[in-house]
Amino acid sequence: MVVRVRVRNAETGATVDMELEMENTVEEIIEGVSAYWEKDPGAYVIRKGRRLLRGQQKVQELDVQANEELELIPDPEGGNR
């Protein structure tokens, strides 16, 4: 089974649709859209509504609906220099 979701880039507002298998993980979504948008190497998280998704979670665990929007957010690492 395949589900199509929309992923929004929090930095630019751009969106892309992504077809996901139930076995795909959140980490694979992050890597897929990061490559598509040619993001700088850095740490990112995905949110679904008001919840941050864990990297190892599979699509089948996410209760994600067709065409639901997820958002890719940079996870800032700096602060001491």
Partner 1 sequence: MAELIRPGERDEDRHDRTRLITWVDMDKVSSSNVLVVGAGALGNEAVKDLALFGFRHVDVLDMDTVVRSNLSRCVLFREGDQSSGKGKAPLVAERARGLCPEIDIKAIEGKVQSLGPEDMKRYDMILGCLDNVAARLHLNANSYHAQVPYVDGGTDGFRGRVQAVVPPFSPCLQCGMNRSHFKVMERRFSCTGQDTVFYQPKMAAEITTTSIVAAVQVREAVKILSGRSAIANVMHYDGLAGTSEVFALDIDPGCSNHLSAKLS
Applying CB under 8 A, the residues found at the interface with partner 1 are 10, 26-27, 30-31, 34, 41-45, 47, 50-52, 54-56, 73-81
> Least Å distance between CB 3 and partner 1?
20
Task: For residues 3 and 50, give the distance between their C-alpha atoms in angstroms, rounded to a whole number.
Answer: 21
CA distance readout (Å), 30 to 24, 60, 61: 11, 16, 16
Q: How far is the CB of 15 from partner 1 (least distance, A)?
A: 16
Q: Which is nearer to partner 1, 1 or 35 (CB)?
A: 35
